Structure 1
């Protein structure tokens, strides 16, 4: 019985007193069989050892000429290396414009089509200008009227008007003189009681009215004799200037009713056709400047600090390569990529705006190491790399003339710093002047004897 379920039961071997008579009789027989099998196994093992030693002595030693031939290079240290890095950008035009009219109107003519080459100042499209022309004619008539009035004011009153005014003044002076005499007589008669007061008042009123008419006529004569006032001349001159300004505005609108090419280039897109009512600022045509295109490439700020304006760099577009100078390094970092935009001018006319370009920059790294063919690299432990080198063989492995050109494979642990095509820059336990094996590394192991014949 097991009292504790957490404890394993203890197995108690049976005591000799528990054996049956049958077991005591069978035990000597089985012991004899076991001892016999053990002696047979020992004898077989000893015989196998002697057989292998005899076979090893009798087998011929492999000839050293059967060693695997290999190719090697002598490793030489380097202090630095150069790398090429490519930075991607986009090809853009030096200038590109989206063209439209400043005022709204009906498009009556489009003189170009997509892909046409144009020169600066060439008409591209035109709006309906009949309304503007009618407004201009009306303003021109008003201006002519205003100019005529200004000239009249500048010339002053005519001599005939002055003579007429003088005659009117003289006539009124006589009438006033006669009226005064009649009034004086009426006063005498009234004093004598010959007439009524009413007649005297009537005569006095008539005399006063004539005197006022005389004063007014004399003032008009004086105004004619003095000529036109300066204020009138200024007011009329201002009216003429106002009409001139309105005419100039009409002329500007007429000029802007025709769309001109701002620079030499190629028509890109044509957004409207004839008969369309174009709004102010609506896109009509796009124009891309003809001439060298520019590549805008984002590069790290640290790399941009090493570049100088005018420095020629290599630019690749597809399978074509160009030498292009750096024309600008924009002072602000790109908000998205946090890179400096380098502007490179590409001297080619058969390129397309929007193409992807690659700016190739050469960088020098100060690092010590050795250049090796990639065929010399052997995978090592823990993700590292190794290289096999030639070492002098032991005297026991080679003898006599057969030791010529025979070497033992050694192993050197290395670190790959940089790869470039079919070669790699490495550093590690490799020493300058050692001969690294570059062929057949997958067929050899460290300690193996190989053959190398110097050229």
Structure 2
């Protein structure tokens, strides 16, 4: 090997040794610095969690039970004749509102009217005969039996007159209550038999509502309780009513109680036969403590909330009462005005520092700085 080449190799080895020693010293120095404890008296602050919160408030809560039911006409009847006859006139149009006592259908009554005139003449004759018989009896010209026969003849004539008069009245069919007449099934001039269907009359100014609730609520049911009804035909509206009758027996098959309510129907928009979703109010709590439902944190069989106090989230056990969409009643564990976390509690632990970035009825809060007491 040439002397010049040997000197070059020696120089390269020397540089490598110097670089390795320098790298070792640097790493050792950094490790020593990192291992040094923080200066005494300086406390590292825990991370601050941002959350949303709401204030515990008082509100009126309705204790309700849900059910399904069917709307029924307040009164409903199929119009049928009580006597045979030919229809001489129909006095209504289909879908028309009629008042109680209004004429609906008239049957041909000419034959009955003739019979009535004949019996009226007979009544007049027998009344005159009775008067003469009474005068003759006063003079003892006839026996008491003859007087009784004259009186009986008049009574029989009056009875036949009443019978024919009743038959005549049955040739005119009248509305038994206020209502709306449905589709008729006969035409003028048609011959109808006794009991044949003519049209349906529905009283729908007020509707009945039949629905069932479980027997567990039986002790809390009473006449006059308010019900709220929703139907598919009017999805954005609710209709109010009141219970007016309770079935005295519990159904053995379903273990439910049948209730009946009245629902005012102005404008007759609701129709009999509609399917109804029912909310029955069992009671009202005027000053219940409520929190947003999303504030509740279940832990096993127990329920908690994170209550914000002085910038810290404190895990607080609560007891719940009624629930309604979006809200829960607090029976124990909180007081009016307390602030609870509604969003962000999934990352929280008891005592964590929090900052409220959005609050419903709660003032903004920031954690206290360490060292400020």
**TM-score (structure 2 length as normaliser):** 0.61
1:257 to partner: Cα distance: 1.0
Asked whether the 8 Å contact 2:101–2:177 carries over to 1, the reply is yes
The whole-number CA distance in structure 1 between the counterparts of 2:278 and 2:83 is: 43
Q: Secondary structure at the match of 1:70?
A: strand
| 2:68 paired with 1:68 | no
| 2:244 paired with 1:328 | yes
| 2:107 paired with 1:127 | yes
| 2:332 paired with 1:421 | no
Structure 1 residues 251, 442: closer, same or farther in 2, change over 3 A?
Answer: same
Name the residue aligned to 1:350: 268
The whole-number CA distance in structure 2 between the counterparts of 1:83 and 1:150 is: 76
For residues 345-381 of structure 1, give each alpha carbon's deviation from its aligned partner in whole angstroms, at most 9, with x where no partner exists: 537343434243635415257999x744333334534
User: May I ask how many residue pairs the two structures share in their alignment?
Assistant: 314
Name the residue aligned to 1:41: none
Name the residue aligned to 1:114: 94
1:112 to partner: Cα distance: 1.3
Matches within 5 A, 1:206-245: 227-245=141-159
The whole-number CA distance in structure 1 between the counterparts of 2:31 and 2:352 is: 25
| 2:355 paired with 1:374 | no
1:141 to partner: Cα distance: 6.0
Name the residue aligned to 1:301: 218
Asked whether the 8 Å contact 1:295–1:357 carries over to 2, the reply is no
Asked whether the 8 Å contact 1:125–1:260 carries over to 2, the reply is yes
1:90 to partner: Cα distance: 4.4
For residues 289-338 of structure 1, give each alpha carbon's deviation from its aligned partner in whole angstroms, at most 9, with x where no partner exists: 36444555656432224x6x5x7x463444334565x4734473465764
For residues 373-432 of structure 1, give each alpha carbon's deviation from its aligned partner in whole angstroms, at most 9, with x where no partner exists: 333334534x6555445689xxxxxxxxxxxx6x5x66556665443332334578x676
1:242 to partner: Cα distance: 1.6
| 2:88 paired with 1:98 | no
User: What is the aligned counterpart of 1:57 among 13, 34, 56?
Assistant: 34
Structure 1 residues 373, 59: closer, same or farther in 2, change over 3 A?
Answer: farther
The whole-number CA distance in structure 2 between the counterparts of 1:55 and 1:416 is: 56
Gaps of 5+ in 1: 1-49, 157-224, 393-404
More helix by share: 1
The whole-number CA distance in structure 2 between the counterparts of 1:420 and 1:349 is: 32
The whole-number CA distance in structure 1 between the counterparts of 2:286 and 2:121 is: 85
The whole-number CA distance in structure 1 between the counterparts of 2:331 and 2:133 is: 103
Asked whether the 8 Å contact 2:207–2:263 carries over to 1, the reply is yes
Say what the alpha-carbon RMSD is for the aligned residues. 4.9
User: What is the aligned counterpart of 1:257 among 164, 171, 176?
Assistant: 171
Matches within 5 A, 1:280-319: 280-289=194-203, 291-295=205-209, 300-305=217-222, 309=224, 313=226, 315-318=228-231, 319=236
1:118 to partner: Cα distance: 1.7
Asked whether the 8 Å contact 1:86–1:361 carries over to 2, the reply is no
1:258 to partner: Cα distance: 0.7
**TM-score (structure 1 length as normaliser):** 0.52
1:254 to partner: Cα distance: 0.8
1:85 to partner: Cα distance: 3.7
Matches within 5 A, 1:34-49: none
- When Rg is computed on C-alpha atoms for both structures, the one with the higher figure is 1
Gaps of 5+ in 2: 1-26, 357-363, 367-373
The whole-number CA distance in structure 2 between the counterparts of 1:55 and 1:274 is: 115
Name the residue aligned to 1:454: 365
1:246 to partner: Cα distance: 1.3
The whole-number CA distance in structure 2 between the counterparts of 1:60 and 1:274 is: 110
| 2:354 paired with 1:437 | no
